[in-house]
Chain A
Amino acid sequence: MRVFAASSLTGAFNDIAQAFEAENPGVKVNLDFGGSQRMRSQLEFGAKADVFASADTIQMDALVKQELVAGLPVDFALNSLIVLAMRKGPVNEIADLARPGVKVALANEAVPVGSYSVQVLENLSQDPIYGLGSGFKDDVLANRISGEPNVNYAFQKVVLGEADAGIVYETDTAKALDVGVMDMLFIPIPDAANVSARYPIAVLNDAPEPELAQLFVQFVLSSAGQNLLQRYGFSSP
């Protein structure tokens, strides 16, 4: 069976697939990760998969509207954003993102994490309580060095030192610790300005393996699946 999943689910879904395979001998789960928007457009153009797990409801709703989804999607995880920076770099607090010459890695706005990032920047600019000024968002966007096709690329740009900082998912902190990245700084975003990214999952209409697909979705929603997701920093909806 084949599962299309958002890039931010890479670690968690690899573990989930392994556990699912262990529970269902003889089943092989093919996982394909990418920006949710790219997975969506591939499905629209005829790519065959059994399950789709998106990082936002926009991509899933688009598929629902085109009747490509069987039944209703279910939210299975929550995530939020964080600023990832080089420890010895020029970014030590959120305000530094707007400083001239700072290189910021962001995902493209068509990608869930990219549009979430812009939303967070907007929230931070709007509320004077953060003292960042109303031009904060535009200043940060002016420092953007790329529009990455998914969150993993934004993450890697910072890890490779090509960017001073980037906006990624909170769950990427677990990933960073996992790969042993020691020189990284995680700067939290105030809760009130942060987003609550909802991840929906659904079986696809022309799934080659509909029964297995249903089983897989149930497994993700089960306590075993939720535990694995929590290990990567996701919370349950």
Chain B
Amino acid sequence: MATLNPVSRITNQPAGILGGGGAVLYVLFIGLPVLALLVRAAQQSDFLDAVTSDAALTALRLSLITSVISMAVVVVLGTPFAYLLARSDSLWARLLDSLVELPLVLPPVVAGVAMLMAFGRNGLIGSELESIGLTIPFTTTAVVFAQIFVASPFFIRSAKLGFQSVAKDYEDIAQTLGVSPWPTFFRITLPLAAPAMFSGLGLAWARALSEFGATMMFAGNLTGETQTMPLAIMSAMETSLDGALALSVMLLAGSIMGLVILGLLTRRRWQGRS
């Protein structure tokens, strides 16, 4: 009787038909544009020239540098914050928790306008910042600000879930065994939460690299200073489709590579755990 499993038969039929149909449609819907991008890019003769052009490399370098800085800030500040959110159930912590989710639902362009209203020349604290010699809007700093704003929730949320999955008992046991709180955190809690943190970091990084709306509003589109890859694609679209295609393929390749690395990293970690 073990081979005849009535439950899975019943549920598998709709899953097979509807799910199969849905899967085909979905693969076409996502796959076709990606394929079209690759086909069109392959058709152009000067693809390599466009990929290695000054403008493309400048934008790529800026994207990499700014996203690395953003992620460093997000990890250093976000990790203790996420730990606090995971361990505290006070009203304040719950309010903070909702605030962390806000950038996820807020359109990035609104985030850009909001940051301009805060840090811009005529912004809430912008003139004070300027008087001490700090200009943020339309500088590389603004790019980093925009990336942190939109990408940090992905890391903090994931890290929080990671910390929550580490039972408080482990920490208590470690401490009853005489391990003091700091080593407990670094040697028990952090390693156990690491897989969730890595996957959160991967998502946050992807989000930072693809950031467009807030950057456009708050940082502008200055070559070499604030023009990241997505903005360079937008600008290239104005003058040459070829340039835009080349840059798009570069970002696509980066995304796929990121997915693969993320998959390998998290899988190994989780497997090691079980």
Contacts and interface: CB of A to CB of B under 8 A. Distances in A.
21 contacts: A2-B222, A10-B238, A10-B239, A31-B223, A32-B220, A32-B222, A33-B238, A34-B221, A44-B121, A45-B116, A45-B122, A45-B137, A46-B126, A47-B138, A47-B222, A48-B135, A48-B139, A152-B238, A156-B237, A160-B241, A179-B240
Contacts of B241: 156, 160
A150 B241 CA distance: 16
Contacts of B240: 179
Contacts of A45: 116, 120-122, 137-138
A58 B271 CA distance: 64
Shortest beta-carbon contacts, A-B, top 7: A46-B121, A152-B238, A47-B138, A45-B120, A46-B137, A42-B220, A32-B222
Contact of A7 (B138, B139, B238): B238
Given A45-B121, A46-B121, A150-B238, A30 B137 contact: no
A33 B222 CA distance: 9
Interface of A: 2, 7, 10, 30-34, 42, 44-48, 150, 152-153, 156, 160, 179
The residue in B224, B238, B241 that gathers the most chain A C-beta atoms within 10 A of its C-beta is B238
Main secondary structure on A side of the interface with B: mixed
Contacts of A44: 121-122
A192 to B, nearest CB: 31
Interface string B115-147: 010001110001000100001011100000000
A56 B121 CA distance: 24
Interface string B216-232: 00001111100000000
Contact of B138 (A30, A42, A150): A42
A2 B221 CA distance: 12
Nearest to A179: B240
Given A44-B121, A47-B138, A48-B138, A30 B223 contact: yes
B15 to A, nearest CB: 40
A1 B135 CA distance: 18
Nearest to A2: B222
Contacts of B122: 44-45
B221 A32 contact: yes
Given A32-B220, A46-B121, 19 more contacts: A10-B238, A10-B239, A32-B222, A33-B235, A42-B138, A44-B122, A45-B121, A46-B126, A46-B130, A46-B135, A46-B138, A47-B137, A47-B138, A47-B220, A47-B222, A48-B135, A48-B138, A150-B238, A152-B238
B222 A30 contact: yes
A46 B221 contact: no
Nearest to B226: A47
A153 B220 contact: no
The residue in B116, B138, B240 that gathers the most chain A C-beta atoms within 10 A of its C-beta is B138
Contacts of A47: 137-138, 220, 222
A160 B245 CA distance: 13
Contacts of A2: 222
B41 to A, nearest CB: 15
A2 B126 CA distance: 23
Contacts of B220: 32, 42, 47
Interface string B233-254: 0010111110000000000000
Contacts of A30: 222-224
B62 to A, nearest CB: 13
Given A47-B137, A156-B237, A32 B121 contact: no
Given A45-B122, A45-B138, A153 B222 contact: no
B238 A46 contact: no
B238 A153 contact: yes
A2 B240 CA distance: 22
A46 B239 CA distance: 27
Given A46-B121, A46-B126, A32 B238 contact: no
